[in-house]
Amino acid sequence: MSVPFNACRRLFIAASLAFLAAPVLADIPTKLKFTLDWRFEGPSAPFLMAKAKGYFAAEGLDVEIDSGAGSAGAVTRVATGAYEMGFADFNALVEYDAKTPNSKIQAVYMVYNATPAAVFVLKKSGITKPADLVGKTLAAPIFDAGRKAWPAFAKSNKLAVDAVKWQTVEPALRETLLARGDVDGITGFYFTSLLNLEARGVKTEDIVALKFPDFGVELYGNAIIASPKLMAENPKAVAGVLRAFNKALKETIANPVAAIAYVKERDPLINVDLETRRLKLALDSSVVTPEVKSVGLGAVTPERLQRSLAETAEAYALPKVPAAADLFNANFLPAKADRMLK
């Protein structure tokens, strides 16, 4: 039976329109929302650089980057679907996963190969090693990563978990209390509390920092995390974000002074010299480590990761030690050759 001319004409027009529309639709970038763990400071430089220099756009992505208010909040933002990806302390993800069965959020790129957590004391206190902390009072917010991981630090240094007393304070008051001598020490991120103490008039040479990685703690630090929905439905987008970020991170490591310009662009009120130093401290202490020089940026060592998970589980009093494969997914990482440092 023959098809009426008008029907053929309509089919031809519809097919033609679909053909013409196809390349236009293909050019529409995938929109993603990405949350940082904190304010726009030095360590956020590679994220903002990847956006400003068009590295995300080159991957077909339109990434919106927002500041955060802590790692726990960043994990929650991704868990609720408000954000597809984020930057958060890996141990906060481990804790969330333990309390939220089947969350399936995973870390996909380990940015901080070593936890930035440290105990800070003043040189005049005479404290030079972990054993000297016995009986002392430390101040920190209840959610501080160093405070939460204290049991791991204590165990690694043969101290009782209750060897110190804790004073709960707001983040903005922590360094002030130590500078005034109101407490014996504090816990905080190395590249944050060090600069905050200096800003309160404490000379660098008068500060003693007991960095957790230097005293046996194997915990990893901040990682890029992704929602299970995005990983399942658009794995190319996840891989694209990591390629773009990896490129920007390598450029940031090579020239941190230039990278700060992208933070200044996003927040014109930052102190450029201060944030440049913060970025350099973060890179030197937590990003460019011996392990990274061996396995490349973003990756982990499976054996160490499982040991660190055991540390986190004990420190956070989790019901069980999670499996490394459940929390870190290396399938989206750029090729190792692209992640190696020269």
Q: Report the topology of domain 30-113+220-339.
A: D-Maltodextrin-Binding Protein; domain 2 (3.40.190)
Task: Work out the average pLDDT over 71-83.
Answer: 97
Is 20's pLDDT higher than 70?
A: no
What is the pLDDT, as a whole number, of residue 5?
A: 46
What is the pLDDT, as a whole number, of residue 22?
A: 45
What is the pLDDT, as a whole number, of residue 33?
A: 98
Q: Rg (Cα) of the chain, in Å, rounded?
A: 23
Is 188's pLDDT higher than 70?
A: yes
Is 80's pLDDT higher than 90?
A: yes
Is 1's pLDDT higher than 50?
A: no
What is the pLDDT, as a whole number, of residue 183?
A: 98
The pTM score is 0.90
What is the pLDDT, as a whole number, of residue 24?
A: 45
What is the pLDDT, as a whole number, of residue 23?
A: 47
User: Do the Cβ atoms of 185 and 119 come closer than 8 Å?
Assistant: yes
Return the percentage of the chain with pLDDT > 70, whole number.
92
What is the pLDDT, as a whole number, of residue 13?
A: 52
Type of residue found at 204: T
pLDDT digits 0-9 by tens, 85-128: 999 999 999 999 999 988 999 999 999 999 999 999 999 999 99
Is 221's pLDDT higher than 70?
A: yes
- Which pLDDT band, with edges at 50, 70 and 90, does 6 fall under? low
What is the pLDDT, as a whole number, of residue 102?
A: 85
Is 51's pLDDT higher than 70?
A: yes
The yes/no answer on whether domain 117-215 falls in CATH 3.30.40.230 is: no
DSSP 234: -
pLDDT digits 0-9 by tens, 223-260: 999 999 999 999 999 999 999 999 999 999 999 999 99
Task: Work out the average pLDDT over 199-221.
Answer: 97
Task: Work out the average pLDDT over 23-51.
Answer: 89
pLDDT digits 0-9 by tens, 133-166: 999 999 999 999 999 999 999 999 999 999 999 9
Show the CA angle centred on residue 292, arms to residues 291 and 297, nearest 5°.
150
- Which pLDDT band, with edges at 50, 70 and 90, does 3 fall under? very low
Helix, strand and coil content of the chain, in percent to the nearest 5, comes to: 55, 15, 30
Domain ranges of the chain: 30-113+220-339, 117-215
Q: Which helix (H) or strand (E) holds 120?
A: strand 117-122
**Which residues are 122's β-sheet partners?**
207
What is the pLDDT, as a whole number, of residue 91?
A: 96
Report the candidate in 141, 333, 149 with the shortest Cα–Cα distance to residue 245: 333
Tallying the residues shown for the chain, one arrives at 342
pLDDT digits 0-9 by tens, 281-326: 999 999 999 999 999 999 999 999 999 999 999 999 999 899 999 9
CA distance 136 to 192: 22
pLDDT digits 0-9 by tens, 268-277: 999 999 999 9
Task: Work out the average pLDDT over 6-12.
Answer: 53
One DSSP character per residue, 174-191 reads: HHHHHHHTSSSEEEEEHH
User: Do the Cβ atoms of 213 and 191 come closer than 8 Å?
Assistant: no
Strand pairing class (185-189; 106-110) = unpaired
What is the pLDDT, as a whole number, of residue 297?
A: 98
Distances (CA, A) of 328 to 97, 120, 168, 227, 335: 12, 30, 32, 12, 17
